[in-house]
Amino acid sequence: MNGAQARRRLYLMRHGSVDYFQPDGTPVPVDDVPLNRRGEDEARAVGELFKACGVEPDFVMTSGLPRTVQTARHVLAAAGLERTLEADPALQEIRPGRLKDIPHDELRRAFLGTFQSREDEVEALRFLNGESVGELLDRVLPAFDRWLARTDWQCGLLVLHGGVNRALLSTALAGRRAFFGRIEQAPACINVLDIGADDLVLRAVNLTPTQWLHQRERHTTMEKLLAQFTGADA
């Protein structure tokens, strides 16, 4: 279109499903947790969609944690693409504290508060008594800016995490330091952003090829994790 601003396309994914807890409720180290079978299927479904739609990213970047690396590899394999994976540890997920140090009567707040509180108070909140949302923004936003400054791509794929994605999507919607925790990010979901010289256009959020209408979902990821940890029904 004559006179229209040229924008680059960015596909922002969350990693596929994982098991953060063993059947007895014991946490799996968050830096080591792999995709489970469902997560592998979800990632392959994304790759099949990319192939069907002719999506061929110029670069693929992960946070470097196994669950994002494995997701990216399954996507590429199903799409029939070969790309060298890049990694940026600054885009790793918001870091939790030690669950065993959280009193039982504070578990619900610790699990859910970060993603259910008002936007004007969220920066100070700590995720599972670990890293605060403000600290997450301090490392994620500069890292994202560095990637946007690169000129060697027109279509990119970022495979990251639920909290990190919320930070980036909130920036696209409301500018710096925003954090809308109620933007749900399903496993292996796709968000679509168009990147201009001085703007971001958010085109789609939380697309899930294995469940387009989220018809089987009524609980958030964090509500499910709280139920798994406490042995309660979600």
Compute the average pLDDT of residues 41-58: 98
Average pLDDT value over all residues in the chain: 92
The predicted model gives 170-188 an average pLDDT of 91
Query: Residue 148 domain-assigned?
Result: yes
pLDDT for 119 beyond 70: no
Confidence class of residue 199 from pLDDT cuts 50, 70 and 90? confident
Whole-angstrom Cα distance, residue 144 to residue 59?
14
Counting the structural domains of the chain, the total is 1
Residue 46 covered by a domain: no
Whole-number Cα distances in Å, 191 to 3, 37, 94, 106, 120: 26, 22, 19, 32, 24
What is the model's pTM? Answer: 0.93
Query: What CATH code is carried by the domain that includes residue 214?
Result: 3.40.50.1240
Separation of alpha carbons 55 and 214, rounded Å: 23
* Domain presence at residue 2: no
Domain with 96 in it: 8-40+53-230
Assigned domain for 45 exists? no
**Would you say residue 1 lies in a domain?**
no
> Which stretch of DSSP H or E encloses residue 144?
helix 133-149
Q: Name which residue leads in pLDDT, 35 or 113.
A: 35
200 inside domain: yes
pLDDT at 1 over 80: no
Residue 62 lies in a domain: yes
Rounded to a whole number of angstroms, the CA Rg of the chain reads: 17
Does 140 reside within a domain? Answer: yes
